[in-house]
Chains A and B, each alone.
Chain A
Amino acid sequence: MMNFSATPKDREFLLPASPLFIAVSLFVALLLDWLPWGGLWLALRPDFVAVVLLYWCTHKPYRVNIGIAWAMGILSDVADASLFGQHALAYAVLAFGGVVLHRRVQMFDLRQQTMQVFPLLLTAYAVYAGVHWQLHGYVAWEYFAGSVTSTLLWAPLTLLLQALRRPRTDDEL
């Protein structure tokens, strides 16, 4: 019964994602990103905002789109004191990938989705690192470790958000 393969039949049972729920999930992701990570943990930290954005872009592509991803990027830029547009560009590219591939991603089960999501996240990380490389002339390679942990976060995060969007059944009431 706990089959989260996200087939169309399954999705019928999900509650429509309210704007409030989307906003709260993005807000929580921001909070998690802004926890005081440091050292090795910082390099291994998954980019929560990116994964949540990707989830919404693939599952609700007409609600959360490139514009929202870009705005989240601007907020991250201010908080991280990176250049204006650095996160924004990376998240816009990520959201584009999510929106374009949303049908394909939804067809697969979680394991296959993870494989589909990895290139998207890696591209977003590469965009961020590429901008940095253009402006400062070097790349910190440990930065890319974050794309792997972000990918690993995809499955648990999808399960969590799907579970939160599932309506309560009678016996739970």
Chain B
Amino acid sequence: MEHTESVRFFNRGPSPVVRLAFFSLLSLLLLFVDARYQYLESTRRVIAALVYPVQRLSTLPGELWHGAGAFLTLQNNLVHDNELLRARHVADAARLQQFDTLQLENAQLRKLLDVQQRSDYRMQLAEVVYVERDVFKREVFIDKGSQANVQPGQIVMDDNGIIGQVTRVYPWLSEVTLVTDKDHAVPVQILRSGLRAIVFGSGDTNDLALRYMPVNADIQDGDELVTSGIDGTYPPGMPVAKVTHIERDPAYPFARILCSPIAGVNSQRFLLILSGEHKLPPRPPEAAAPDSRGKKGKKKMP
């Protein structure tokens, strides 16, 4: 009995244990190489190009549903939306007219003060193709990739504020890590007081945490956080979050501050990719080591 079993196994190729050992080792090797060295990006791009049609196919029902929904909107809603947009347009137009003169004035003042000019950003519209399929991550995929000149590190926003950052680019897709991703860091400034801070994603869909702020820091409920632009990744002055909850317990060195993102991080379908890069002068070489504030916006690559 045992004899026939072993002969059968022999004919069928290596035993399951051997196969498991082989493929586990291969996986662990791949994991190690991918996590440590990022050598496999080109391989990933090739497989992603093969997988892409299937992925699009799987999003087709959702797109059709959306399309049908758009087609069958009530006229009532359209009229209402139209009114809303018109009102908003009038308000925006008035502000825009001021903006032009203010921008000119600002440029002149900056020239007078000899401060570096702020650059303009070009925007690219992209559509969310899928939301993250991994419970561990807060990511979306958008339908512009290296074919549309998207590069890793570019900032993605909606009309209200920052959504996240492009972390990986495929030919026709790119992967955007949202600001709510666990430990994703954005250097911010409190709009009211100018206080600098770093806001971290909590891995939850709707929460950001302002860490390392002393208990007596000048922060109030409802304070708006905008990017400070200090990291050189995020352009300055973009709205990020609003403070929703402050817990000041003197027993702890830091206050516990929760914020909620201003942009529709979970709800938007159309996003803007900022494509003008934000130039910073090169960093002086010796002042490097212990200061974590000057690091890039992303601490941890997911």
Question: What is the interface of chain A, defined by CB distance below 8 A to chain B?
Answer: 27, 30-39, 42-43, 62, 65-67, 70, 73-75, 78-86, 88-89, 92-93, 96, 99-100, 131-132, 135-136, 138, 140, 142-143, 146
Report A-chain residues with C-beta under 8 Å of the C-beta of B47. Answer: 74-75, 78
Residues of B in contact, count (CB < 8 Å): 47
Question: What is the interface of chain B, defined by CB distance below 8 A to chain A?
Answer: 12, 16-17, 19-20, 23-24, 26-31, 33-35, 40, 43-44, 47-48, 51, 54-55, 57-59, 61-62, 130-137, 139, 141, 168, 175, 182, 203, 205, 266, 300, 302
On whether the beta carbons of A66 and B133 are closer than 8 Å, the reply is no
Report A-chain residues with C-beta under 8 Å of the C-beta of B43. Answer: 84
On whether the beta carbons of A36 and B134 are closer than 8 Å, the reply is no
On whether the beta carbons of A70 and B23 are closer than 8 Å, the reply is yes
Closest to A146 in B: B135
On whether the beta carbons of B168 and A138 are closer than 8 Å, the reply is no
Closest to B58 in A: A34
The one of A36, A38, A83 that contacts B34, using a Cβ cutoff of 8 Å: A83
On whether the beta carbons of B135 and A140 are closer than 8 Å, the reply is yes
Q: Would you give the shortest CB distance from A85 to chain B, in whole angstroms?
A: 4
On whether the beta carbons of A93 and B133 are closer than 8 Å, the reply is no
**Bound Cα distance A92, B20 (Å):** 6
On whether the beta carbons of A138 and B182 are closer than 8 Å, the reply is yes
Closest to B130 in A: A36
Report B-chain residues with C-beta under 8 Å of the C-beta of A135. Answer: 31, 35
Report A-chain residues with C-beta under 8 Å of the C-beta of B16. Answer: 65-66, 96, 99-100
The one of A33, A37, A81, A88 that contacts B23, using a Cβ cutoff of 8 Å: A88
On whether the beta carbons of A84 and B51 are closer than 8 Å, the reply is no
**Bound Cα distance A4, B23 (Å):** 33
On whether the beta carbons of B12 and A81 are closer than 8 Å, the reply is no
Asked if A92 meets B24 with Cβ closer than 8 Å, knowing A66-B16, A78-B51, A81-B175, the reply is yes
Q: Which of B26, B27, B130 has the most CB of A within 10 A?
A: B27
On whether the beta carbons of B23 and A140 are closer than 8 Å, the reply is no
On whether the beta carbons of B28 and A89 are closer than 8 Å, the reply is yes
**Bound Cα distance A16, B23 (Å):** 27
Asked if A85 meets B133 with Cβ closer than 8 Å, knowing A34-B54, A35-B61, A67-B19, the reply is no
On whether the beta carbons of B44 and A92 are closer than 8 Å, the reply is no
Q: Which of B34, B59, B131, B135 has the most CB of A within 10 A?
A: B135
On whether the beta carbons of B26 and A84 are closer than 8 Å, the reply is no
Closest to B34 in A: A84
On whether the beta carbons of A92 and B23 are closer than 8 Å, the reply is yes
On whether the beta carbons of A36 and B136 are closer than 8 Å, the reply is no
On whether the beta carbons of A70 and B136 are closer than 8 Å, the reply is no
**Bound Cα distance A88, B34 (Å):** 13
The one of A74, A82, A96 that contacts B20, using a Cβ cutoff of 8 Å: A96
**Bound Cα distance A47, B24 (Å):** 20
On whether the beta carbons of B23 and A36 are closer than 8 Å, the reply is no
What are 5 pairs between A and B in contact, CB < 8 Å? A65-B16, A67-B23, A84-B34, A85-B34, A136-B182
